[in-house]
Each structure stands twice: as structure tokens, then as C-alpha cells.
Chains A and B, each alone.
Chain A
Amino acid sequence: MSLNGWLQITLFITLTLLLAKPMGLYMARVFEGRRTWLDPVLIPCERLLYRLTGVNPNEEMRWTEYCVAMLVFTAATVVLTYVIQRLQVYLPFNPQHLPGVAPALALNTAVSFSTNTNWQAYTPESTMSYLTQMLGLATHNFWSAATGIALAIAFIRGIVRREMKTLGNFWVDVTRATLWILLPISIVLALVYTSQGVIDNLKPYTTATLVQPMTATSTGADGKTTTSTVTTQTIAQGPTASQESIKELGTNGGGFFNANSAHPFENPTPLTNFLEMLSILLIPAGLVVTLGKMVGSPKHGWAVLACMTILWFLGVFTCYWAESQPNPLYHNVDQSNSYMLQSGGNMEGKEVRFGITGSALFATVTTDTSTGAVNSMHDSFMPLGGLVPMVNILLGEVIFGGVGSGLYGIIVFIIISVFIAGLMVGRTPEYLGKKIEAFDVKMAMLFLLIFPLVILGFSAVSLLMPNIGLGSLSNHGPHGLSEVLYAYASAAGNNGSAFAGLNANTNWYNYSLAVTMFFGRFMMIVPMLAIAGNLAGKKITPETAGTFPVTTPTFTVLLLSVIIIVGALTFFPALSLGPVLEHLLLHAGHAF
């Protein structure tokens, strides 16, 4: 760890928290229908959209109607993306003449992008045409993020409204989230990225001649060894910058290229790396301020933000510390040279232009939120370094979390915390004046059950099947367990980053991960909206000295403990046989 590294980390979190307030207040204005400076341009666009689609913006929806609208919208876009992938060979903007995508992969991808996961079981540059990337995938980056924001706003309305049955209008919320928030910021960011060297074109791939031809040796299936000389290299092109900006801003994470943000065309400089990380947290952190503003308790927003920031810090500290250590195995081989083999720490799988700090911070931020973009290979992290991204996801993607989903996720945790500890102040637990009763607890527990169910369940099944499950593993021992666990965690958390090392493009993994992504998104949204709808119908108990405090440091510590304890208690046994065991064995001289 170095001073320079800590300065980068400090600058990053300071800017994030400074931006949270204006961003949060702006979003509150957008959804409360107050004036914003973009209105003159956007209101006509908005009206036009409603007229074209026949949406009545004044129609209020109950939680069930809101939920159905969201599901219909998602289903329609899943079908659209599936069809585009299957038919891309017949469609324009396919200079490489890439064939139609296989059904299992096409379904996995469509579900992946619509759930804000952006798990990629394929290599984009050799699988997806430009049209598929632009119309099938980049659009989803906007839609899934806008849906997330809409849901979070609906949840906040559920808390704020008293004795009402409705939560707002899904179509209006999605439209406003896209027009007022996602589009303008994405356009600005895309322009900045292009200035730094991120490409944006529709050209066919470029073939470059190698300065120094190289020889490749490969062994065929018959056992014969063939040697070939490589003289050219194909350099993939495409409309990258426009997709890059929303990739982070919408906490989507689906890379235009297979190497994702490690690719120089996606993330060329330390500045773009910094901006990408900053844009990941921009909306999730801002939405917490929006919560405080809309419920009329800005201090509550800051108390929640403080909890998230502490969890973020614990992650970045552990990850940065773990990655700054040289691999003990190198250390054993040659003590005097261990730091030379590993400049500044474990550089395996990391880009030199980002270094340990830029990689560890990116890995923490991308998994705190449900982004899943990567600028280094998490699989190559030290066991404890790799534990951080995994734990971040397993805690429920609530450390800032995905756009919208992070906020509603942490509110569910708040409800559980308030219920457990709220009884201790001698009253029926209440959150911001809303009594937390049996129905709310039931729905919150359903929400919490989904993670262990799909992550632990599917991982266990995969590990029990020697061919279908274990066959995809390239590492064994505890590291193999981590790979499987990470894949399902990433899918359930709608993160989409991969630990790599696992060939997920098989029928079993494509389908089971698609189911996991679906459950991790919608099976959690439904109970969440049910809580929102139920809360909206309740009275608001006025605040008194007897009210459970949700603005104090005590509350922050309580929330923090509940998130850590619930997450740790659920996943500790599995983790102990994964990264924890790997760490212990590594220091005993075993690697996997």
C-alpha cells in the first residue's frame, strides 16, 4: 500500500460523496415533477413519447399494476433482444458477417441484459454484430437502469405516502429516468471518453501486420503438434464510447469487448478509469440522498450513506491490502526478488496503467454495485483480494448497489434491522413513521431468501455433477469452488462480473444462470414492491422521543451489523471452503 494509492482512494470517495448531494436533489426534483433546467428541451420529448405510446401520465398505479407494467416492459425487451441476436446475420451493421447467436446463449444474454446483470457467456467481438450491440444490448443498459431507478422511486413513494393505494406511474418514471438522468449524463461522458481515445465507429475490424511475427504451437486432437507463424492481428472496432458511458452509469457492466474495461479501447487512461468508477457510484449514491430528501429526513439519507461508505471502505481496504502483498509462493522461491517479480504486489491479471490501486478500487466499486465491469481479472486476485468482490456481491449488492436496486435492497435491510432492534425500544417497530408488521416482515424475508436459495442451491448442484458442473472448471480445490460460487453470486446479484476460469457457455450454466439472474431480479422486486404498496396504505405515526431513531450513528452501526451478520451467517460456511481455505492453504504453500 502506498500514499499515492490512498490519495487516489481518498480523492475518489470524496468526489463521490460531494457529487451525491447535487445528484440526489436533482433526481428528487425530476420525480417530484418540479422544474429542472432541462425541462424546455425534454418536456416536449416526453409529451411526444406519451402521445405516441398512448400513455396517460396522470394515471396512478397500485403496486400490482406497477409490477405488471414493469414485467411486461421487460418481457417485451427480452424478446426484442433475443430476436435481434438470432437474426443478426440478416440484419445490417454486421461487417464481420457474424452468424446468429445460439438459442441458449441468446436467451442467457437477453435475460442478462434485461436484469441489469450483463453477464457475458460469450466473446462480444466474435459473437455480436454492431446492430446487436447497439439495438439489442446498449438499449437494455438504459432500460434496465431506468427500471431500477423507477422501482426505487416507487419504494420511496410507498414510504412517503399515507393511506394511499398507488405508487406512481411506471411508464412516466422510466421515461423521466431515461430522459432526465441517464441520457444527458451518458452523452457528456461518451464525449469525454472519446477525447481520451475510446473509439466509436461502425468500421469493419482492422487487420494489422505484426512488427515481430510470432510462432504459435498447438496440439491437435490427434496428438500431433502443429506450428504456425502469425504475422497479422485483427483489431476489433465498433461503437464503443456510446455504450461505455451507460455501461458504468447504469451499473450494467457488459463490456463492448471481451476484456471489458481492461481493454484499451474501452478504458484507455487512468483518467477514464477514474471517471468510470465515479460514474458507477454517481446514481446509487445520489439515490440515497434522494431518499432522504423525499422522505423529508436528509439526515436519514446521510446515515444510510455513511453505512454504505463504511462497507465500501472495509472492502477497498481489504482488497488493496491483499493485492499489495506479493504472492507468498514467489516469496518462498526467491525472497530477494519477490517484489521485482511482483512490482508493488500481485500484478497478475492487472493492467499496468491502472496498477494495484486502480484495479483493487475498481474491483471493489464494480462489485459493491451490481455493475460487473472489470478492469482486471478477479480470478487472479489473491484469495482474500478475490474474497472482497465475492462478499460485496453476497451482502446483497447494497453497498451503494445497483442503480435503484441498491437503494431498494438496503431499504429491505433497514426494515429487517428496524424490526429486529426496533422492538428493543419498546414499541412496534416503525420506519419513518410506518409500522413494520407481519406482512412487511414476510415480504422482506422472501426478499432475503432468494440469494441463499439460488446461489447456494445452484452452486451445490453444480458441484455435485461431475461432468456438467465440474467439467467447466479450469481450477480445482477451493479455487474451483470460488469460481462456481462467484458465478451464481454474480448472476443472482445482477452483477455480471466473472471470476473467470469457469466456462459458462454450456447449456447447464447458460440456463441455470439465466434462471438465477431472473430470480435475483424479479423474485426480489415482487416482494419489494409488495412492501412498498403495503407501506403506502399505512398511516404515518408522528415522530416523538419514543420513535426509533434512523438518523443517528447508532442506527448506522446497527444497519451495518445486520448487513454483515445476515450476509456472513448465510455465506460463511461456503466461503470458508472457498477463498478462506484457499488463503490458508496458500500460506501453507499450496496453490490452485
Chain B
Amino acid sequence: MSTATQAKGQRRSLFDPAITRRASKDALLKLSPSHMMKNPVMFVVEVGSVLTTVLLFTDLLTHKGHFVFNLQITLWLWFTVLFANFAEAMAEGRGKAQADTLRRAKSETTAYKITKSGSIEEIPSAQLRSGDLVRVLAGQMIPGDGEVVEGVASVDESAITGESAPVIREAGGDRSAVTGGTRVLSDEIKVRITSNPGETFLDRMIALVEGAERQKTPNEIALNILLAGLTIIFLLAVVTLQPYSVYSAAPQTVFVLVSLLVCLIPTTIGGLLSAIGIAGMDRLVQHNVLAMSGRAVEAAGDCNTLLLDKTGTITIGNREACEFLTAPGVESNQLADAAQLSSLADETPEGRSIVVLAKQRFGLRGRELAHLNAEFIPFSATTRMSGIEVDGRSIRKGSVDAISAYLVEHGSRLPDQVRESVESIARSGGTPLVVAENGRALGVIHLKDIVKGGMKERFDHLRAMGIRTVMITGDNPLTAAAIAREAGVDDFLAEAKPKDKMDLIKREQAEGKLVAMTGDGTNDAPALAQADVGVAMNSGTQAAKEAGNMVDLDSNPTKLIEIVGIGKQLLMTRGALTTFSIANDVAKYFAIIPAMFAGVFPVMNKLNIMHLNNPQSAILSAVIFNAIIIVALIPLALRGVKYRPMSAAAMLQRNLIVYGVGGIIAPFLGIKLIDMLITALHLA
């Protein structure tokens, strides 16, 4: 996570006053039946509340019933509905706050459209259409999503990513995509607009975080069916209880029956379900990842195989020189000197690391190229070597094949010992760079891939969760195997071409596995589309972003691992609260059933194992517990249950104890406590 996002996360506390205020208002607005219908469990509670409210007033007119008790029941039933709505509104409110920030970036800007004749026309950005060409100068806002077709510029994308460091956007290649609402800091670019108004990336992002376009995810739909089914079963149990009670000469009031029903139906999970879903998406957004659908988030939790690009994900992007291996009869410092000289003009990180290594090992100071009167020979695709001509010395460095050819040209050959060094370096996962001077091989520089810190542990965690990691690299199999071993990935795909990646995904999917991957280039697009979870880098091409179902605004490929964790956490939270909700019912039965019948059958008090004070306080306590448990669990719903990487068997056991056994015990304590409080306050 970037420091910017961390700051953002801290800024928004769980119960931010502004969000809480707005959520309280929204909770009332959400009482509209058309909204409640979407949630069958809470809709039943609302219908019950309406029923008891009507009865409360008719009873008042006819002077029937126990007004104080019935009033309290009715109020708490309404609170149950309101608390559930509040939970949903809280989750949405957090998204809305984020959307407001984004909307500010969306403010109307002026676009400088390049007409067919080549002249510049000033139009409002809202009038831009896909295919239009615009010119953006330093200091100007990019008017819409598009691709740079000409020029290079540094762009401030902090409005979207929260990252303040500017990024480079240039025509061609994999860093051509720009987003509307970001600002060009330097230089000038021409951008071809790729989206119509209202369909821009920013628009989609606002809709996503606001939950406006939220569609229920597959698991959520299935869970809703389960909850609706349980609600119908309990409805049957409660509706038929009245005939049994009448038969037993102990008829019940509607208030008591509705109380029993509301306590039994899974209101805890029913009330928090949509909040959990919204919060899950929100957690992704806080990690600066945009999921195009909730389905993708769930799929992330289900992933069996992660395809990780070696460079940038497993290893830091650059290789480093770590060793000089000399040819027979060559002194180490002679090799180091030649290597350093040849690398002085080499501005690549590899080149700089050679200079640094020579300095560290042999105290060779980097010399100023200008003072040397040297001719630098740059790397070219045809020679595949670079080097330097200085003081009659002709130094070359390059791949083993290139240098061999160079030596043969000079009537020499690569000594066997050098060849052995080359092979041993390759075997260990490094890249050998052979150095030659005046037609004679001096030795080999060992360039090494640096595996990012902590990767091995993360792969171990993934393995514990049953997720296989596959490293994708263009390296030869030998090198790839060595790095794979060092990084601790389960498998690797060497000399990978885009088609190989695609084939691998299809092969895994044919075995019933779900595959996640990251990508940024246009040639990654087909694989991103094929993968179950395709995370495109924000810095990548438009094609890659279109093909994937998530976009990482930080363009950090390692984040795939976090995304998997967020997906799992979302599913776990739902499961945990469902289990908790159902387990709660046991205690509620022991509170309400004896209370219902103890009046007619005093022996029923034997079932009052909590020794609740009286029937009314017992029923009221159960209803109150049922309502406030929703509020008490809002933080858990929004944050998600604690998630530790471990095997499914261990996780199941742990969560069953916490949420299953805990769910049975907690309400016994809670109801007893509330009963004592009610009794002390003389409320019943």
C-alpha cells in the first residue's frame, strides 16, 4: 500500500461523524417498502413492525392489551429495521465520501480539440466523443480517458490513485493510457479520446464506489435464497404455533408471535449482508484497486492459481552485478577495471550496479567519461554488445553468444573455464555477461535477479491456503528454475510468450481451477480476459484495462496477493455472520418459548434456564438483543472478519468455534444482561 492510501485509510475512521450523520438519515429513507423488498428477511421484520404498530393504536382505542410492553416491542422492532438500514447506509456512506472526492476531479474542463484541418478548437470536455483528438499542455487537465498518440509528458494522477509522485505517459508502448481528470505537469501530448461522456473511467469508478451500480454477487444471491428459505420455515413455525397454542388453551398475542418470528429469522446476517458486500468493494478501493464487478472479487477468493510475472512482482525490476569470475590468467581487479570502464557510459541500472560493485570490491573509483577521451560503443540489437574504446583498449561486454562470435572474429575463442562459469551462473538463476578486451576474454560478470523481500513467506501462506503460484518469465528454463526455487513459487513458465500464458490459463481452467493474473501490455489483453481474475495495471494500455476485470491504480503487480485476501475475507465475513445468526436462535428459544406458555403452564418455567425475571422481560430482552446485535456487529461487517492465511481445515475449525460456538453462547449472556437491566429500570 502506498503511503498516500494509508493516509487516506486513517483519515476515514469507522464511525466518521459526517458519514454517521448521513447514514442515520438514509436509514429512515430506506424504510420505503420498494427498497425493503430487495431484502426478504428485513422486509418481513418491517411488515411485522407495521402490523404491531397498527395493533398498538387499535388496542389503545379499545383499551386492550398491555400498552407499555407492546409499545416497547413495537419500538424495538422498528429499531431492528432501522439498525439494518443504518448498517447498509454506513457502508454506502463510506463509498459516497470517496465518490465525492472523485467527483471533484470530474469538474468541467476545457478541451482543446484538434480538428481535421489541424486547427485547435476550444470545447467543453463534456462534448468530447470517442475518437476525438485533443492537445494537452503542461498545467492543463486531461479532458477525458484516452491514449497518448504523440509526445511524452509527466502526469499527476493523484486525484485517482492518491499517489502524489508524477508518472510518465508516452505515445506507443505500454504506458500510453491517460485518465480524464488527471493533470499534465510538463511537456505536451496529443491524446486520442477513447470514451464517451458518462462512460469514462472516472464515471465508472464513482458508480462503483458509490454502490449505485452494485449488483448482487453470485454468492450473495445464493445466500439470500438460503436466508429467504429459513425465513419461510420460521414463518411456518410461528404461524402454526398459534393453532397449537389455542388448542393448548394458551393463545398468544400478535406482539409476542411477531417477536418470536423476528428473533428467529436470520436478521443479523439479513441486516448486514449488503453492508458486507459494499464494504468488501470499499476495502478494495482503499487498496487502490477497482473491481469492475463484485463477481470478480468473489472469484479472487476462489482462485486456485496465481500467475505472477517475474519482473516487478517477484523480483525487483533490475538485475544487479554480484560477482566477477575471471578467465585463466586474468587478475580479478583487471576484470573489474575493464568491466567498470565499459559500464561508465551505461546508464541502465545493471550498468550502474557493475560500476558500484567494482568500487566496493576493488576500490576502483568511477572515472569521468569526459576526462578519458574515450569512445563509447552503445548496445545495439545487431551486435548485442556494448563497450568502450579508450587508450588503445577495446573493451566489449555482452551475452555469451555475442562475445563468442566477437572473439572468433578476432581469431580467439572463449576459454572453457569461462564457459563453465557462464553455465554455473545461468544454473543459479543469474545472467552472465562476458567481458573481453582486445580480443581476449577476461571473465564473466554475474548479474543477479533480486527477489523482493518477504515473498517466500507470502508464497508459503498462499500454499497453506491451497493456492498455487506460477512465475511467468521470459528467461530460459534454467534461470527460471533457479529464481523460482529462491522465491519459493510452486511452478514457473519459462521463455513465456503471450500465447503460452494463454494456454496455461486454459489448461488450468480445464482442470476446474480459477486463475488470477496481472498484466499491463496490449499483448496481455487476451490472457487478462481469459483469466477469472485479471488485474490490469493502471499504467498499462487501454486494451489491457478493458480486458481485465480489475484495475490496480498503483500499478503494483504484487497486489494480486492482497486482492485474493480481500476476496476471501468478504466470503468469510458472510459465512461467519450467517453461522453466528443461526446459532443465536438457540438462546432466543430458551428465552421466548417458556415465557409464552409459563402463564398457563407454570411448569414451563423449568425451560427458563437463564432465569429471566418474568415473561415480558424475557421476550423484550430477546427482541432487544436481536436488534442491538446488528449495531454491535457493524464494525465487523465493515472491517471484515480477521483473516489469517491457513488451511481450510484449520480456518473452518477456528471460525466454527468463534462464530458457531460463540454464536450459541453470546446471546445467553446478552439476553440475561439485558433482562437484568430491564428489571432494574422497571421497564417490564
Contacts and interface: CB of A to CB of B under 8 A. Distances in A.
Interface of A: 162, 416, 419-428, 433, 436-438, 440-442, 445-446, 448-449, 452-453, 456-457, 459-461, 463-464, 470, 477-478, 480-481, 539-542, 544-549, 552, 554-555, 557-558, 561, 565, 568-574, 576-577, 580-581, 584-585, 587-588
A548 B223 CA distance: 17
Contacts of A542: 304, 511-513
Main secondary structure, interface of B, reads helix
A441 to B, nearest CB: 5
B652 A570 contact: no
A103 to B, nearest CB: 29
Interface of B: 218-219, 221-223, 225-226, 228-230, 232-234, 236-248, 250, 260, 264, 298, 301-302, 304, 463-468, 511-514, 567-569, 571-572, 574-576, 578-579, 582-583, 585-586, 589, 593, 597, 601, 603-604, 606-607, 643, 647-649, 651-653, 655-656, 659-660
Q: Give the 10 A-B CB pairs with smallest separation, nearest first.
A: A546-B466, A423-B575, A445-B229, A426-B568, A544-B466, A424-B575, A545-B466, A584-B603, A460-B243, A460-B240
24 contacts: A162-B512, A421-B579, A424-B572, A424-B652, A425-B572, A425-B575, A427-B568, A436-B222, A438-B225, A441-B225, A441-B226, A449-B233, A452-B233, A457-B240, A464-B247, A544-B466, A546-B465, A549-B649, A558-B652, A561-B660, A571-B237, A574-B237, A584-B601, A587-B603
Given A463-B243, A542-B512, A580-B607, A423 B574 contact: yes
Given A419-B226, A558-B656, A428 B234 contact: no
A481 B582 contact: no
Contact of B248 (A442, A547, A577): A577
Nearest to B511: A542
A441 B220 CA distance: 11
A115 to B, nearest CB: 22
A573 B244 contact: yes
A481 B247 contact: yes
A573 B603 contact: no
Contacts of A568: 586
B647 A545 contact: yes
A440 B651 CA distance: 24
Given A420-B582, A428-B571, A456-B236, A588 B597 contact: no
Contacts of B250: 577
Contact of B648 (A433, A539, A549): A549
A574 B248 contact: no
Given A426-B572, A438-B218, A544-B467, A420 B651 contact: no
A470 B248 CA distance: 12
A144 to B, nearest CB: 27
A573 B512 contact: no
Nearest to B589: A572
A456 B219 contact: no
B575 A422 contact: yes
A557 B463 CA distance: 26
A420 B250 CA distance: 36
A139 B219 CA distance: 45
Given A546-B647, A549-B648, A572-B589, A581 B603 contact: yes
B465 A416 contact: no
Nearest to A478: B248
A442 to B, nearest CB: 5
Contacts of A478: 248
Contacts of A424: 572, 575-576, 579, 651-652, 655-656, 659
A242 B591 CA distance: 52
Contact of B512 (A446, A456, A541, A558): A541
Contacts of B230: 445
A574 B223 contact: no
B127 to A, nearest CB: 43
Contacts of B240: 456-457, 459-460, 574
A311 to B, nearest CB: 17
